[in-house]
Amino acid sequence: DQQVKQNSPSLSVQEGRISILNCDYTNSMFDYFLWYKKYPAEGPTFLISISSIKDKNEDGRFTVFLNKSAKHLSLHIVPSQPGDSAVYFCAASDGANNLFFGTGTRLTVIP
């Protein structure tokens, strides 16, 4: 049973516009959420995270929003750049050595 879901397998955005990647989770015990980015032929790399006690965390062009009541988080990239084209994985931690990943969303930023 997939506890972390990314329902959009792909997303295309024009360069300079905002990219919004969504993630839903089912386990209310998750207390930390992370986004990883993956380029072809490379492993996932950490991008940004958020604790369950916050509702927003910002790092440059990347902002993660958490809505605990809806069990939903999103990653906003603004402005989007062609180099942002990658697969983005949402992940959630239950605080007990387990990190659950979604299936990923392939972002394509069109120049």
Partner 1 sequence: DSGVTQTPKHLITATGQRVTLRCSPRSGDLSVYWYQQSLDQGLQFLIQYYNGEERAKGNILERFSAQQFPDLHSELNLSSLELGDSALYFCASSRDTGLQYGANVLTFGAGSRLTVL
Structural contact between residues 77 and 18, judged by C-beta atoms closer than 8 angstroms:
yes
Does position 43 interact with partner 1 (CB under 8 A)? The reply is yes
Does position 41 interact with partner 1 (CB under 8 A)? The reply is yes
Using omega within 30 degrees of 0 as the cis cutoff, is the peptide bond preceding 79 cis?
Answer: yes
Work out how close the CB of 16 gets to partner 1 at its nearest, in angstroms, rounded to a whole number: 29
Does position 101 interact with partner 1 (CB under 8 A)? The reply is yes
Task: Give Cα 30 to chain centroid, integer Å.
Answer: 15
DSSP for 47-61, please give it. Answer: EEEEETT-SEEEETT
Instruction: Write each residue from 8 to 37 as x if it is in contact with partner 1 (CB under 8 A), else as -, in one continuous string.
Output: -x----------------------x-x-x-
Work out how close the CB of 25 gets to partner 1 at its nearest, in angstroms, rounded to a whole number: 12
